[in-house]
Structure 1
């Protein structure tokens, strides 16, 4: 009955642009989405099998569908954004940003004050912003204060009150920071001209202020007022210095918003740059939590609408790294070359830096989230069927064909698990044969895990090329584990990843965390194997002379070396000292051996 009801709702949907809302059986909203064609979009959720598990879960919960028809795609975008913020549905993208931002207020009054605030009051005052930090606001206000003399008092400077002499100038006047309009020392028309220049500066346009100051400087210089001219020149220098710091592209690029996105399995990170006359007047990055494995295009469309609303942007053009649909009211440009492309690249760099900073914070604040994201990313990058929570990496060591050994290192949740490391002496292979050695070690490792009913890894990494990988795969075949454990090989030089039976290697971006984890595994296996090999060679070299004594084996030699530390000390030990360590029979053999050796010398 429920399904029939849904089918009827879907069939009766209009083919118009609008917003649809999914509800569960308890009337709780599950999801809000926009569509160019409501009927076609909603129908797509029910007539195909979804790759995303989360979408499948959501579709099973849908009990009721509501919709709102609008005039255009732009209206649908805005309405979707507002409904998501209002209802915060379970399966919608979460915008991880709820801060209150600062503004610069130009107060609606005679001789307007200019000050920072977090509260926007509808009293006719002008508000510029919001800005992403108070640091930016204070920098701008310090610049304005250095250029223009503005009042800071909150007196009602009505003309009749000034004429009545109700106010007296304060310390700010005596310090030269205010011209004293409270006593009629400054005309309103002059003050308002300064306010108009301040409006332009806050918007990122310095042209009028620079022109005004240059005219004033020239006027003072012609009147031989060089001290006043120097003061004006200092203001020009301050303004030009501030402008040069903020100019990053062609000054002809004016009133443009720039957006870019980078993402991983769980989150999207969208950067916003606002440009005015080639200057960045605002930069902000938001984090968006994915709910239904949304694409970068879907995330960016939602973020553009949200950010432009939040920062009251009226720009008619935006630059983005790829095409998105924002309706007909906004011009969307995808730059390919030059200054426009450079500013999009700068925005993308900001998004990536923000993502890196979040990773560092996550490792400290929420390590579980960091691990979950890393595992999901590795699963995607390496095309695995499950997350590689348990990874094992093998490496052979047989320098100059002597003392062949192998090492197995284990990573759990992306970190070394040193208590699970294992080292192997090669037993069945004669001479330096890396392929046969790898087959032996892999077979022994997983035969033991199977016999002891220990958990198997989700991923095996073989340090070597196709030959080593084939040998390891043969061992898994013999154990009946082929296809049950993912296995790859990594070639040393070019960081090529090989899959069994795959003709071409996989190349990962050198900056990806997945490749860094694999390299760390490979390096750790190499270090562990080399250390074991070096120790074995050292013990073999030291033990050779002792083991040449008839009746003395490796075990006895090791015991003597542990006690006496060197062959020289063993040769100088008394019979009693030797007997105390290895017993009468073996102690006597060692003592007599060195006594005869001394006699010959």
Structure 2
């Protein structure tokens, strides 16, 4: 197992979807589907396998995956991908049998069958399906919905299924050829996604059964409706209109953009294109530039229509491409765009996670950062961020990165003690002094670089404390954000200057990751503090409700809203006397009505 596969296995999501194994040439050699991608894909590289699977694993050099919303979607996408790519091991691993189909036999009383042989004039065939399990899953649902022949009884003798309403192959049913032709058409429409008729019929039967208090029968109809609902999700990967279309979705984070394009051909999602690149303008502008360039490349076929996300200017796209441009507002088409966006987000996150796990690149980023700032290699970096919301509960937080990795055991939280109101400069002055006077006093390891989440003012305040008050010589840099709260500029030097740092560099990614982490840690601490203060203040002063009882309530109910909505008995069960529980409810209800 190579390093890339090892790292990618650690980052797999728990979602359903399809996985695509590739060999050293990048050729797709196997396509599979999974309810849980993490568990299924990892299983190939763990434990022992039969000879055929071991041969497959020995050729896997890389893999990718497509996340879907359900196992049914994954199943149908798998069919499309296998039909389009014809991976060699999908053929070998099925024991040289052809793919299974569901067949409606051409008989007086037609039957639903699973077969691997297609014969002309022998019936109606649906499929193919990737394996017998998939075909059986769908046939089982069809058997419950459509009363084709299911028994071996002669026509004049009814069977068990007749009494269930699932077999009309008996003379007592008085069926004719027109009836069976209509039933075949219903199955064809149902498997093509036109199942509203069936759902309405089942809903009417369910309501009628409930009215007659036949609740078990009503529950059966309910379960059938739910099962159909799962099968309906196939419309996201298979469309009955058979139109060729491209589905665009994109996601941006940390100065990077990922664009995913799903190619739908003849109504089937058969392939995707993934592109990751740094962006420099507004995300919407760079996305438009991408689309404009996408179809200028001769290898990309221009379909009859393309779908784009909600935040993209439809008229601008129409000016770029000579085809129908659709911005889906609701339903399955919008869900397909959302699926492309979801996969773009996962792909981008995987890129960042892989970079973080690549020790060699991280070490290189640290060395390059030192050279860029003309300082020794910053092995230990400490970063600070302040947080206050509307001037209340001001706090600061510090995170530590050693060799490019977060050292969480060394993180520190600071409640601001000497500052009243939202004074960011004064808060920074206090925290920097408290931290590094402690470093001097206790002989702690000083950092090689201090990073301040802020601009020129905050950096100058920190430098004044470090140099003039404490007499230390520690380099200090500032990470300034733009109006969209995204990392924008690196400030360093005396006087401060903007350091030219390319967005697609490992150094930029390292600094961005540090800034995100200190901001996350500060916000998390601030929310904890506000929640604790809010909880304490509203319950303070209630006779009989001491610290232990308040703690018990918080542990059980998690927040004040849950206590407010709870019954008196629920509060009493937490060890609170009845008279005190009544006072708690009275206090919270009075606060709510103020």
Identify whether the pair has TM-score above 0.5, normalized to the shorter chain: no
Kindly name which structure, 1 or 2, has the bigger radius of gyration based on alpha carbons.
1
Short-chain TM bin? 0.3 to 0.5
TM-score by length of 1: 0.38
